[in-house]
Amino acid sequence: MAAADLRGVITASITPFADDFSVDVKRLAAHSANLLAAGCSFVSTFGTTGEGASLSTREKVAALNAIKASGADMSRQVPGVMTPTLDDAAEMIVGIANAGCRAALVLPPYYYGTSEAGIAGWYDALIERTKSATQIDILLYNIPQLSRIRFTADLVKLILSKHASRIVGIKDSTGDADNGVMLAKTFPDLSIFTGDDRVLPTLLANGGAGMIGGMPNVFAKDLVALYNDPKNSDLLAKQTTRILAVDKGGSLVALKAALAQYSGDENYARVLPPLKPLEGQGRTDLLQTFAQSGFDAAA
């Protein structure tokens, strides 16, 4: 495998915000440290769960530098690049590299529908524009339900034909176990991650590297345990119940609500517009489901 260290449970971290909607660096650094202490291999900031598409490149690079200044281990950060703009993507890549991060998770350009050759050309241009500044490793982000771009085997091969030394993995957030297995078997030299807890055991059994997902924000210890013991059907059943509840509650807003509740710190529940925090009966139902699944936040 080209990047043998890129394995395990990687948390797609939430982003805490201050009341003026600026990134709350202190809470983000503390949350990242807690995730690593719970056994996660890396933390991926500013992806989908981190509201990365709602933040400017300037804000995200500044936050990474501030986290670094606070003493965070940046070698265990794999931040997201969530923009269709070539110039912003290039600036973010360089910022991620300059902060000392392990790799960058790069979403394809998601606004204009185009051909696979066009998408490959965008990655060509991004790597060309940044190659004099950094050779940082890149993971491709396959989330077609939001990006409208699917990384087919042919598209991955097209990108690898020019950039095999730079592309080290794929995050497959389709939720389709067969698709994850196909990627793992077709590209055994890449680190293939799922974004879905329920796919993790199947992917690991077929050569996958692990998961990059939002659920470890709350359930890091259980997901690390599942990674280490993927045949644990009890843990898998619990995570299936929990992920369905999180999806029903609005995904990242549900995770932030749970963190706020369990930490006793409502700042964690704050989200950027146009999102709205999960409150009232929705939060009550979410927490009840977690409790019924046997989750103990103090454990």
pLDDT tier, 2 (very low <50, low <70, confident <90, very high otherwise): low
Per-residue pLDDT reduced to its tens digit, 247-296: 999 999 999 999 999 999 999 999 999 999 999 999 999 999 999 999 98
What are the pLDDT digits (tens) for 182-212?
999 999 999 999 999 999 999 999 999 999 9
Angle, CA of 236, 242 and 244, to the nearest 5°? 105
pLDDT at 265: 97
pLDDT at residue 1 is higher than 90:
no
Q: Which residues contact 208 (CB under 8 A, 6 or more apart)?
A: 180, 181, 184, 192, 193, 194, 200
Q: Could you tell me the CATH superfamily of domain 8-230?
A: Aldolase class I (3.20.20.70)
Domain ranges of the chain: 8-230
- Please state the pTM of the whole predicted model: 0.97
